[in-house]
Chain A
């Protein structure tokens, strides 16, 4: 006979102001099987938990229902308390009176009745609960970091420094990411490459880090502690072991006019190339789409030039499978391109740049070696207009959010321009200046006060070319919206930060949530900022939301700490909410008839075939068996099973029916 205790929580005003908790406790007393029922202001508090523990001992409870908030919030709290009192924790259930009742209904009798019903339902379930035991699974202490920008590099270094193996996968030929393209960084104006390249080299040399550049994640299976990742290593057409990075092949490549991605199209590269001189690894790749040999079957100049015979035209992509225990997603961002601006000429004018292009123009390693020359004719621009919020906070362009970094980098751009062209005029059109951050607002003020950058509060409606100048038509809203027209030599659009291409597909591949703009979603916006909703997969940097470098680095270290904490254990315990195929005495053995529909339905490949053998070793029956390590408890197999041979532990058909029949 069940002896159930019901504990109704007021959650302060959260439940108490809407639901008559005393009445719920009173009603619960009359449910058959309930031997104890009380209400209390905060059940999750120490005294509240103490009440539960004492009642278990005093009344010899065989089950506990806590009627309070969502189990997502406090189920572990109450199950721990129950366990401390000597009861199996899975004999404790929660009735959600907050999210499912008080928060969504007005105060009133029916609301209290619904609350009482929710308790009744849970009491019926608990009566059918069985003691369960957590599942233990081993942990593979190797992390996979996706993305080799500053976020991925930092996360990889921190995990590696904690003593764990890391595989750092980067889709382009070199690690470094967007940070390697930047000229100087705000608010200190130190050179981006100067502070980044030591980290890149460190990542490459670290004994615990394996670099896989020019590679992408193909497939991910498994679960926390036990993932199996398939990586596609794209063919460099080169034997990396033989290549010394001497660069002869690059010098002699006849294809020299390919728009250079690293320089954002402002420079040109060869068909066999390294993206930039400090690339890590400093080994070239052949861009087969533009290579003369791959296009016409003739050339092979690089092969002839190579002193070590490292060129491999016949090299194919390679698939590598890795066992890893955790993943850090650090796939970064992209910027909106200028062709998304019809009113500014659909990106057709060479002197209208985006922010990354300006970085390359200002960078000492860029196509102009850091000298201010406008792309159209190489002349020094004497008036440059910078447009903050280009495409950001612009619902008409599909980006209602603030891109966060543009206010700061626009101030930096204007400043860098004024430092390079002393007689030049810099005008910034802005809507608000968002410069929260250490030394950030001081930096913007410096641009205005000391470097004489003219800030105009207003957006620009149109840019067109006239008499060799870019006519920028804006307004000054501090003068009642008076039209302002500036004839500029160059315009820089601080275009919106957007999620990386392919983010949605990647998120689906990894079963990670994402927001409407395809940024990956954190598990909790405040308290779990680096976790995803999939255990064992963590986030770092701008793949989650627009971020600047300090924030990215901090978040990457946070993600690394999470991985290190996970790897500090040799095995993990998992909730035993998994499917089980029932077992019966001979000669039935199981209701399972061995149709294995469940096997094809299971999204986690968790169902195996088990042979039941007689004493003589002959196979009597083949039935399904669930691998508890792989099962995620989704219940798909339960729904498919025609003989009702499968159940989810803790959510068995019997339990669910018992709940429903109560209503």
Chain B
């Protein structure tokens, strides 16, 4: 009768965890490159999505590390063009999300991703406290985190003049509930 294939994927790899958490089987990728071909930022990446998928597909912790250390994963805009057009229906953008989460937890995030990370962290800080985004707080927090104090200084007054920059945060009543959501999820690493 037919031979039985036993999954050779080592459990301690991104490939295995992506399969477990996202239900995405990286073996489906046949390296056609269509994800990179349509990626709006591929030409700015040090490692394209298709290259990253190839390295992850090999299920080797050393190669996983290479992907997590790349700058490319932080340039992904989650525009989902890749997942939409993938002929093998691999959810590439979701994979990128997962790799970023693990890269952060492992302390491998690329140095040039600092600003992007600072922004995301500042954003989440803002919601954690008030429940809603407080744009002035976000920008101030981002500037402190990123040390780009002079970035976009000209923009804020123009926004304020157009009524686009409320000075006070909106505090929701369910701030405790939101705080609890953060405490129970962020960085818990499923």
Direct contact of A and B (CB under 8 A): yes
In the complex the two chains form, is A475's CB within 8 Å of B48's CB? Answer: yes
In the complex the two chains form, is A395's CB within 8 Å of B34's CB? Answer: no
Q: Which residue of A lies closest to B45 (CB)?
A: A481
In the complex the two chains form, is B87's CB within 8 Å of A483's CB? Answer: no
Report the Cα distance A393→B30, complex, angstroms. 10
Q: Decide if A220 is an interface residue (CB 8 Å cutoff).
A: no
Q: Which residues on the B side are within 8 Å of A457 (C-beta)?
A: 33
Q: Which residues on the A side are within 8 Å of B31 (C-beta)?
A: 431, 477
* Contact mask for chain B residues 32-56; partner A; CB cutoff 8 A; 1 contact, 0 none: 1111111100110001111100000
| Nearest CB on B from A479, distance (A) | 9
Q: Which residues on the B side are within 8 Å of A481 (C-beta)?
A: 33, 35-37, 42, 48-51
**Chain A contact residues (Cβ within 8 angstroms of B): what range?**
20 to 34
In the complex the two chains form, is A393's CB within 8 Å of B34's CB? Answer: no
* Contact mask for chain B residues 130-148; partner A; CB cutoff 8 A; 1 contact, 0 none: 0000000000000000000
In the complex the two chains form, is B38's CB within 8 Å of A473's CB? Answer: yes
| Nearest CB on B from A395, distance (A) | 6
In the complex the two chains form, is B87's CB within 8 Å of A476's CB? Answer: no
In the complex the two chains form, is A394's CB within 8 Å of B85's CB? Answer: no
List residues 81-127 of chain B with CB under 8 A from any CB of chain A.
Answer: 81, 85-89
Q: Decide if A396 is an interface residue (CB 8 Å cutoff).
A: yes
* Contact mask for chain A residues 387-420; partner B; CB cutoff 8 A; 1 contact, 0 none: 0010001111100000000000000000000000
Report the Cα distance A475→B87, complex, angstroms. 14
| Nearest CB on B from A103, distance (A) | 5
Q: Decide if B1 is an interface residue (CB 8 Å cutoff).
A: yes
| Nearest CB on A from B63, distance (A) | 13
Q: Which residues on the B side are within 8 Å of A461 (C-beta)?
A: 34-35, 37-39, 81, 85
Q: Which residues on the B side are within 8 Å of A343 (C-beta)?
A: 38, 85
List residues 1-49 of chain B with CB under 8 A from any CB of chain A.
Answer: 1, 30-39, 42-43, 47-49
* Contact mask for chain A residues 576-609; partner B; CB cutoff 8 A; 1 contact, 0 none: 0000000000000000000000000000000000
- Which of these, B42, B47, B88, contacts A475 with CB under 8 Å? B42
Report the Cα distance A210→B49, complex, angstroms. 59
Given A393-B87, A481-B50, A482-B48: A475 touches B37 (CB 8 Å cut-off): yes
Q: Decide if A484 is an interface residue (CB 8 Å cutoff).
A: yes
In the complex the two chains form, is A480's CB within 8 Å of B51's CB? Answer: yes
Q: Which residue of A lies closest to B2 (CB)?
A: A103
Report the Cα distance A103→B88, complex, angstroms. 32
Q: Which residue of B lies closest to A480 (CB)?
A: B51
| Nearest CB on B from A254, distance (A) | 46
Report the Cα distance A111→B50, complex, angstroms. 48
In the complex the two chains form, is B33's CB within 8 Å of A476's CB? Answer: yes
List residues 478-533 of chain A with CB under 8 A from any CB of chain B.
Answer: 480-484
In the complex the two chains form, is B34's CB within 8 Å of A475's CB? Answer: yes
Q: Decide if A375 is an interface residue (CB 8 Å cutoff).
A: no
Q: Which residues on the A side are within 8 Å of B89 (C-beta)?
A: 395-396
Report the Cα distance A396→B35, complex, angstroms. 14
> Which of B39, B85, B87 has the most chain A CB atoms inside 10 A of its CB?
B87
In the complex the two chains form, is B1's CB within 8 Å of A483's CB? Answer: no
Q: Which residues on the A side are within 8 Å of B35 (C-beta)?
A: 461, 481
| Nearest CB on A from B52, distance (A) | 9
In the complex the two chains form, is A397's CB within 8 Å of B87's CB? Answer: yes
Q: Which residues on the A side are within 8 Å of B36 (C-beta)?
A: 458, 475, 477, 481-483
Given A480-B47, A481-B42: A458 touches B34 (CB 8 Å cut-off): yes
Q: Which residue of B lies closest to A474 (CB)?
A: B37
| Nearest CB on B from A340, distance (A) | 12
* Contact mask for chain A residues 336-353; partner B; CB cutoff 8 A; 1 contact, 0 none: 000000010000000000
> Which of B37, B38, B87 has the most chain A CB atoms inside 10 A of its CB?
B37
In the complex the two chains form, is B37's CB within 8 Å of A483's CB? Answer: yes
Given A462-B38, A483-B39: A477 touches B33 (CB 8 Å cut-off): yes
Q: Decide if A283 is an interface residue (CB 8 Å cutoff).
A: no
Report the Cα distance A483→B33, complex, angstroms. 9
Q: Which residues on the B side are within 8 Å of A394 (C-beta)?
A: 87-88
In the complex the two chains form, is A484's CB within 8 Å of B37's CB? Answer: yes
| Nearest CB on A from B41, distance (A) | 10
Q: Which residue of A lies closest to B32 (CB)?
A: A459
| Nearest CB on A from B150, distance (A) | 33
Q: Which residue of A lies closest to B87 (CB)?
A: A394
Q: Decide if A67 is an interface residue (CB 8 Å cutoff).
A: no
> Which of B32, B48, B88, B89 has the most chain A CB atoms inside 10 A of its CB?
B32
Report the Cα distance A343→B34, complex, angstroms. 11
Given A431-B32, A481-B36, A484-B37: A459 touches B87 (CB 8 Å cut-off): yes
Q: Which residues on the B side are within 8 Å of A458 (C-beta)?
A: 32-34, 36-37
Q: Which residues on the A side are within 8 Å of B39 (C-beta)?
A: 461, 483
In the complex the two chains form, is A395's CB within 8 Å of B88's CB? Answer: yes
- Which of these, A396, A397, A431, A482, contacts B42 with CB under 8 Å? A482
Report the Cα distance A395→B81, complex, angstroms. 17
Q: Which residues on the B side are within 8 Å of A9 (C-beta)?
A: none
Report the Cα distance A337→B17, complex, angstroms. 39
Report the Cα distance A484→B42, complex, angstroms. 10
Report the Cα distance A481→B30, complex, angstroms. 12
Given A475-B50, A480-B47: A460 touches B87 (CB 8 Å cut-off): no
Report the Cα distance A483→B34, complex, angstroms. 9
In the complex the two chains form, is B34's CB within 8 Å of A459's CB? Answer: yes
Q: Which residues on the A side are within 8 Å of B34 (C-beta)?
A: 458-461, 475
Report the Cα distance A482→B46, complex, angstroms. 10
Q: Which residue of A lies closest to B31 (CB)?
A: A477
Q: Which residues on the B side are within 8 Å of A483 (C-beta)?
A: 36-37, 39, 42-43, 48
In the complex the two chains form, is B33's CB within 8 Å of A459's CB? Answer: yes
Report the Cα distance A417→B133, complex, angstroms. 58
Q: Which residues on the A side are within 8 Å of B33 (C-beta)?
A: 457-459, 474-477, 481
Q: Which residues on the B side are within 8 Å of A395 (C-beta)?
A: 87-89
In the complex the two chains form, is B50's CB within 8 Å of A477's CB? Answer: yes
> Which of A431, A457, A474, A477 has the most chain B CB atoms inside 10 A of its CB?
A477
In the complex the two chains form, is A396's CB within 8 Å of B86's CB? Answer: yes
In the complex the two chains form, is A396's CB within 8 Å of B37's CB? Answer: no
Report the Cα distance A372→B31, complex, angstroms. 33
Q: Which residues on the B side are within 8 Å of A389 (C-beta)?
A: 32
Q: Which residue of A lies closest to B39 (CB)?
A: A483
Q: Which residues on the B side are within 8 Å of A459 (C-beta)?
A: 32-34, 37, 87
Report the Cα distance A480→B86, complex, angstroms. 17
Q: Which residues on the B side are within 8 Å of A14 (C-beta)?
A: 1
In the complex the two chains form, is A460's CB within 8 Å of B88's CB? Answer: no
In the complex the two chains form, is B87's CB within 8 Å of A396's CB? Answer: yes
- Which of these, B30, B37, B42, contacts A460 with CB under 8 Å? B37
List residues 341-394 of chain A with CB under 8 A from any CB of chain B.
Answer: 343, 389, 393-394
Q: Given A461-B81, A477-B36, 17 more contacts at CB 8 Å?
A: A343-B38, A396-B88, A458-B33, A459-B34, A459-B37, A460-B37, A461-B35, A461-B38, A461-B85, A462-B37, A473-B38, A477-B32, A477-B50, A481-B49, A482-B42, A483-B39, A483-B48
Q: 28 A-B Cβ contacts within 8 A?
A: A103-B1, A343-B38, A396-B85, A396-B89, A397-B87, A431-B30, A458-B32, A458-B33, A458-B36, A459-B34, A459-B87, A461-B38, A461-B39, A461-B81, A461-B85, A474-B33, A475-B36, A475-B42, A475-B48, A477-B31, A477-B32, A477-B33, A481-B37, A481-B42, A481-B50, A483-B37, A483-B39, A483-B48
Q: Top 3 A-B pairs ranked by shortest CB distance?
A: A461-B38, A475-B33, A481-B36
Report which A residues bind B (CB closer than 8 A): 14, 103, 343, 389, 393-397, 431, 457-462, 473-477, 480-484
